[in-house]
Structure 1
Amino acid sequence: MEADRDVRHALVVGAGIGGLAAALALGRTGWRVTVLERAAAIGEIGAGIQLSPNGVRVLSALGVLDRLLPTTFRPEAVEMRLGRSGRRVFRVELAETAVRRWGAPYLHVHRSDLLEALRAGTAGGGLDITLLTGSAVRGYAQDPRGVTAVLDSGRRIAGSLLVGADGIHSAIRERMLGAGEPRFTGHVAWRVTVPVERLGGDAPPPTACLWVGERRHAVTYRLRGGTLANLVAVVERDAWRGESWTERGTRRDALADFAGWHPTVTTALREAETHFRWALFDREPLETWVDGRVALLGDACHPMLPYLAQGATMALEDAWVLADRLAHTDDVPRALRSYAAARLPRTARVQAGSRENGQRFHREGRFAHVPLWFLGKLAPRVYHRRLDWLYGHRVP
């Protein structure tokens, strides 16, 4: 075991969005942080992310928003269209409303750009943060004085706190709670990005646009100042094995799943060079996220279906609250219990809302989307008010 008598040394397992945000938040409150990442390098993983104002406020408080802004895109509105005809169901203004109502903009960003902004933040400002790649953690051991991360290599690294931010296949969660079985939702998502210049008149509108149809839906939006189109297209399946962000499918299969749909959707699928296929699994909220000096964060404890676009944002909120609870005490277990008590009810509500939206988007029948049309077309203030609990929530 590597000796470490520093009472404020945090071990963060995972260098994804949640892990890097946690490292940065802890570092800014005086903690020495070691980030342990399984991958040999942090690459361009994933595609687009929608960041609602509650997450953008955290990035601002962490000091990385100014660095990130040049790579983002601010949608004019949120809208719904019929998947085959493209007919607009509703449009609700978002750009100025978000800042005025919730105190920060609504942004679209490429996952790799967000990761790079967070990584750059951990490397600057005189913070004591070390990133160790190629360091897969298989478990941990602890006693009243501290906690030790146990690596696959046999190396053991000691600290006073361990944060499991190691994603949906979390080794830390499995060590803490056992191997839980996820439930396949019946939904599989295609994810592609395409330069806008290759799409011509079929480029997606400058909005967060939901395209709905029977047993399938799609979401389009723009990234990187509007130069890159992002598409997530979800179709129902009876069965699936495996849960991965990086499984690849074929252009032919993607186009077959959305045959007859609007050219904005099909052109993006046709022009994309790589088609990632993501089977969506669901998990019930965990009873606890904490074991002594060990806490879970982000997808490791509350993996989100994408239908409220809150996965990354909930991880950012987690990171801020975790660091805040630890900022003024040396009683790590007590601070971690306070963190979990604050976060578990909110993330459980978001998980439930995401699940409900997934069912709502795939309703069948001619009049299936009339309630959403009424909400968006006739009562935009009601639409905004229904999001106040989510976008207006303040942790910084």
Structure 2
Amino acid sequence: MEVHLYEQAEELREVGAAVALSANSVRHLQARLNLTEPLAAAAADVDGLVFRSGRTGDVVGRVLSRADHHQRCGAPYYGIHRADLQAILLGALAGPDAGSGVEGLHLKKRLVDIDDSGARARLHFADGSSAEADLVIGADGARSTVRRLLLGYDDALYSGSSAWRGIVPADKLDPLPDPEAIQFWMGPGGHLLHYPIGNGDQNFFLVQRTPEPWSASSWVTPVEREGEHLTMFAEWHPAIVQMISAVPVTERWALFHRPPLEWWSKGRVTLLGDAAHAMVPHHGQGANQSIEDAIVLADCLLADSDWEGPRTL
């Protein structure tokens, strides 16, 4: 298969903060892409999941220690910076002899339309260029253009929650209980999720339940005032207050999801990952489900006799 990747960004750079990779994706990255060593070098091997009271810090429950996760799930649970994961995947795509360029990767290509009426699908980009393919895979995220073109409308639904995020260096935190675990602190009106990444920093995701409709035109907006995220969490456990106060927080993220689709393919076009099934991040499965999708789709394409011969994706 001749595969081409079209990306709207002008350069590949870190977007967001960190990502949690659970065993259902890690084992594929290890076995299918041979990324065991680079993942282990760049990620934190998380030591279980701990649920705590947001106000008192009392432990509500524990799930799967590091050793349990390795044994029962067949692979580690990793916390990794998105930039590091992207670099590892790009290295796997490029190969050791790629030099400065990556064959088949096209930047500054923002999709605006797909014409699937001819012998091949034609993609039209904002810069006036176009490309043809036998199969188009829309892996363009929660705000997928490909999904909107397939459905004819935008079906995003506000979840009733918004969030702030940040990465805090370990030297800005007093000793945390269970610093090597992924931790979920729960309280009235919100929760905090945090976990370590490869260099020992803590990635946090602070969620406030705000059921009133999201009024902003963008899913991500600048904070209205400095420290706005501290207001409702001021009476929470001191470790939480310290963490969310340690670094500047400049953006607020509305959490959207999309209703399940009865179908996610039409003609020569299909969807993958968040474009197919965008979910809120509370279970840390968005990236993991996308990786599983890619593995399953690759297997289906290789096994399907209807796709014999050279193909361009």
Q: What TM-score does the superposition give when structure 2 sets the normalisation length?
A: 0.90
Q: Retained in 2: the 8 A contact 1:36–1:133? A: yes
Choose from 67, 89, 93 the match for 1:122. 93
Distance 1:129 1:326, change over 3 A: farther
Matched, 1:70 2:52: no
Aligned twin of 2:269: 294
Q: How far apart, CA to CA, are the structure 2 residues paired with 1:136 and 1:65?
A: 33
Which of 279, 284, 298 aligns to 1:304? It is 279
- What is the deviation of 1:248? 3.4
Which residue, out of 304, 310, 313, partners 2:288?
A: 313
Distance 1:121 1:180, change over 3 A: same
Residues 122 and 68 of structure 1, relative CA distance in 2, 3 Å threshold? same
The alpha-carbon deviation at position 182 of structure 1 amounts to 2.0
Aligned equivalents of 2:96, 2:3: Cα separation in 1: 14
Counterparts of 2:83 and 2:36 in 1: how far apart (Å)?
A: 14
| Other-structure match for 2:8 | 38
| Structure 1 alignment gaps of length 5 or more | 1-30, 334-396
For residue 134 of structure 2, the aligned residue among 147, 157, 160 is: 160
State the distance in 1 between where 2:122 and 2:97 align. 25
CA change 1:287–1:242 in 2 (3 A) is: farther
Q: The residue matched to 1:331 in structure 2 has which SS?
A: helix
Q: Is the 8 A contact 1:299 1:315 kept in 2?
A: yes
Partner Cα distance (2:140, 2:33) in 1: 21
What's the counterpart of residue 236 of structure 1?
209
1:52 matched to 2:22: yes
Higher share of residues assigned helix: 1
| Matching of residue 102 in structure 1 with residue 73 in structure 2 | yes
Seen in structure 2, the aligned counterparts of structure 1 residues 275 and 257 have a Cα distance that, compared at 3 Å, is farther
Residues 8-37 of structure 1 deviation map (CA, whole Å, 9 limit, x = unaligned): xxxxxxxxxxxxxxxxxxxxxxx2211111
- 1:112 and 1:40 map into 2 onto residues whose CA distance is 16
1:242 Cα offset (Å): 4.5
> CA–CA distance in 2 between the matches of 1:117 and 1:244?
30
State which of 288, 298, 305 in structure 2 corresponds to 1:323: 298
Number of residue-to-residue matches in the alignment? 302
SS at match of 1:321: helix
* Alignment check: 8 A CA contact 1:136 1:152 kept: yes
Of 77, 83, 107, the residue aligned with 2:54 is: 83
> Counterpart of 2:196?
222
Distance in 2 between residues matched to 1:193 and 1:291, nearest whole Å: 40
SS in structure 2 at match of 1:169: coil
**Residue 262 of structure 2 is aligned to residue 262 of structure 1:** no
**Secondary structure class of the residue paired with 2:259:** coil
CA shift in 2, pair 1:332/1:291, >3 Å: farther
Cα distance in 2 for residues equivalent to 1:148 and 1:331? 21
1:205 equivalent to 2:179? Answer: yes
Alpha-carbon distance, 1:309 to partner: 0.9
Matches within 5 A, 1:340-355: none
Write the distance in 1 (CA, Å) between the matches of 2:248 and 2:189.
Answer: 25
Question: TM (normalized to structure 1)?
Answer: 0.72
Distance 1:314 1:173 in 2: 17
What is the Cα-based RMSD across aligned positions, in Å? 2.2
- The question of whether the paired residues in 1 share the 8 Å contact of 2:163 and 2:254 is answered with yes
User: 1: distance between equivalents of 2:178 and 2:164?
Assistant: 16
